[in-house]
């Protein structure tokens, strides 16, 4: 007994446009912008009209040695890499403070509390960001939380008199 099978109509895709027929290697690509971006990042002395302080890495025997032997007061920013306000403080507030106060009047130091928990514990850093001003080897001022640039500048200038 023979059974008849009927075929369903075959659906065909519409013809491809001319853009789809181009080989992928011949596709037009945007020019690489990495050269211009890296050039902009290399010029870190100016961003707009604000002056940005350059970071230098110095080595001391200990944190206490650095605080006690500094010729100028030391402003210490206790931070963590995962802390959003700490990142904002580093990118927005501290460059303005460094430009307004001057690096000859105060030394700015950043301490990662995850890498140096013993220092954070010694100074009872329980909230981030915490900013401490050390003058003559002792804590002169302490700010917990996120100050804005004018507040921090005014406070620093008061303690630096």
Helical spans, DSSP H, in the chain: 18-21, 34-42, 63-69, 84-88, 94-101, 117-122, 149-159
Res. 5 pLDDT band, cuts 50 70 90: low
Dihedral, 61, 103, 37, 84 alpha carbons, nearest 10: 70
pLDDT tens digits, 87-111: 999 999 999 999 999 888 999 999 9
pLDDT tens digits, 49-85: 444 445 556 666 789 999 998 999 999 999 999 999 9
Per-residue confidence (pLDDT) for residue 16, from 0 to 100: 53
Domains in the chain and their CATH numbers? 72-161 (3.40.30.10)
Spatial distance between the Cα atoms of 133 and 76, rounded to a whole number of angstroms: 6
Instruction: Phi first, then psi: give them for residue 2, nearest 5 degrees.
Output: -100, 135
Per-residue confidence (pLDDT) for residue 46, from 0 to 100: 41
Per-residue confidence (pLDDT) for residue 7, from 0 to 100: 56
Res. 11 pLDDT band, cuts 50 70 90: low
Per-residue confidence (pLDDT) for residue 33, from 0 to 100: 40
Confidence (pTM): 0.64
Residues with catalytic roles: 83, 86
Per-residue confidence (pLDDT) for residue 14, from 0 to 100: 53
pLDDT tens digits, 12-45: 555 555 555 545 444 444 444 433 333 333 334 4
């Amino acid at each position: 007994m023979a059974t008849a099978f009927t075929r369903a109509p075959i659906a065909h895709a519409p013809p491809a446009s001319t853009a789809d027929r181009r080989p992928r290697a011949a596709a037009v690509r945007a020019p690489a912008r990495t050269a211009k971006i890296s050039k902009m990042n290399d010029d870190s002395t100016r961003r707009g009209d604000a002056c940005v302080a350059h970071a230098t890495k110095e080595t001391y025997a200990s944190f206490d040695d650095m605080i006690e032997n500094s010729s100028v007061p030391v402003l210490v920013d206790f931070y963590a890499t995962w802390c959003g306000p700490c990142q904002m403080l580093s990118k927005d507030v501290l460059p303005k403070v460094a430009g307004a106060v001057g690096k000859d009047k105060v030394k700015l130091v950043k301490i990662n509390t995850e890498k140096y928990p013993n220092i954070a514990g010694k100074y009872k850093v329980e909230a981030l960001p915490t900013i401490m001003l050390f003058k003559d080897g002792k804590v002169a001022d302490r700010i917990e939380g996120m100050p804005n640039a004018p507040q921090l500048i005014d406070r620093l200038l008061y303690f630096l008199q």
